[in-house]
Amino acid sequence: PCVVLWSLKLWRFLTFDRGLTFVQVNVMSYDYSGYGISEGEPSEEACFADAEAAFAYLVNVKKTPPGKIILYEVQYGRSLGSGPTTHVAVNQSNLNQPVAGVILQSPVLSMFRVVFNFRYTLPGDLFCNVDIIEQVRSPVTIIHGTRDEVVPFWHGEGLFEMCPQEWRCKPLWVTDAGHNNIEAYLRYGRH
């Protein structure tokens, strides 16, 4: 399989990439427009376009079947990567070419909901995973720290509950982990 990592700080994942290589998966990583060394202006539209371009590169140039691709948003700058990841997973599901799996780490229901617990999606809200997660037709695993101080833990719980039951994998709730230290908790078996 091939794992696609969407990250705002790729350098933080060099050891993570090596770990994936150790278990014999190929890894593709990139920065979003306007982040890291990538040019352009950051926006929801640009993030979606970047995600689609990376996915298309794997399928069309590298000839990787969608069913062999695992989407893993690692999202440093957190929360942002769950939007493009879910977006691509839904697109592929709607094309009847679902990906092999989706891993969402510290995902958001939507950007506005990080600050306010809205019941409905408001105009102008971004990365509205809450509105599309039910369309994913691939196994979905959600990882979230129970003491996340940036994206409340209930976001992960909410997305888990909204995933179609047949595609919902057992979540990984990392006890006492915050937003930026999940990997450390997992590395030392503290979950």
Active site residues: 79, 148, 179
Distance (Å, whole) CA 172 – CA 174: 6
Distance (Å, whole) CA 5 – CA 16: 10
Distance (Å, whole) CA 152 – CA 109: 10
User: Of 159, 165, 162, which Cα lies nearest the Cα of 173?
Assistant: 159
Distance of CA 49 to the CA centre of its chain: 15
User: Of 15, 14, 17, which Cα lies nearest the Cα of 4?
Assistant: 17
